[in-house]
Amino acid sequence: MDGITVATDSVACLPPELVEQYRIHIIPVGNIYFEGKFYRDRVDLDYDEAYRMLESAPDKFFTGPTTPMEFLETFKDLSRRASAIIYVALSSKLSTLYNMARTARDLAKEELPGTVIEIIDSYTVTAAEGFVALAAARAVAEGKNLKEVINTAERMKKKVDLYYIIETIKYAYRTGRIPKTVSTIGSKLNVKPLVTISGGSASIVGIARDKGKVLDRLIRVARKKIAHKPVHLAILHAGAPAEAEDLKQKMSAEFNCVELWTSQFSPLMAYATGRGVIGMAFYTEDSV
């Protein structure tokens, strides 16, 4: 039995090779419903197919959270090979998953009395959340104890940055944060927001009709924050592989990338953003 197992959710966008290398358990959180059929994120549905579904009939594409009982079953399974479980969750301000997992942990106190379960609110999402989980898993691989692993994750979540560009805001009303009329008007104007996650919530830091101009803004932000420091960087996209590769090449040429990988945006997030998202998560080595 392992001492500590690190888990995160499928929204964290971690590539399979990193998941395998650091033995991170990916929980397929959230369910996708389309035209009466049910799919589990990262299990039953190819991401490109999910994006096509979303674009073909957005009003028939719905998502639902993982339940406490589903989390409990996962914790039971992990307890068979670990005495301590650390689950790095996406921001509690963006999803109910964190609270669902906490409820499952409370239920597990009686059923799994010999297992320690820690739920960490990453206060972020996608690959930034992935970097928090990676930090914890790398600490485990280095032989650190439970408290040290948790502290490592807590430090990382305060340092990692996330910025992404939304191709269209017509889906944004689904979050409940803006009216559908505003989303519709913004879509007709063809504006493309640059979004960041700060304090666990999303906020717009730039907007333009031309995607190239928003990308320029994104790169300027990266230059200011990264400068000449060694950087760990992940490129994100939702059905935009060519743009993601182009951005990856630009980042690789300009910055000292000691870690650089690309991953797709989960359809669970694309539900509220649409296809065409492009962005990055990063942290500099001296900021950890």
* Mean pLDDT of the chain, nearest integer: 87
Residue 249, number of CB atoms within 10 A of its CB: 11
What's residue 116's pLDDT?
96
**pTM, 2 dp:** 0.91
Mean pLDDT value of segment 176-196: 63
Confidence label for 260 from pLDDT (cuts 50, 70 and 90): very high
> Domain 161-287 belongs to what topology?
Hypothetical Protein Tm841; Chain: A;domain 3 (3.30.1180)
Mean pLDDT value of segment 159-170: 87
12-49, pLDDT tens digit by residue?
999 999 999 999 999 987 678 888 787 777 677 777 88
Contacts of 55 (CB under 8 A, 6+ apart): 274, 275
CATH superfamily placement of domain 2-30+65-158: Dihydroxyacetone kinase; domain 1 (3.40.50.10440)
91-126, pLDDT tens digit by residue?
999 888 999 999 999 999 989 999 999 999 999 999
- The domain locations on the chain are 2-30+65-158, 161-287
Fold agreement between 2-30+65-158 and 161-287: no
Per-residue exposure over 18-51, b if at least 16 CB sit within 10 Å of its own CB, e if not: bbeebebbbbbbbbbebeeeebebbeebebeebb
d(CA 178, CA 157): 27
Mean pLDDT value of segment 225-243: 94
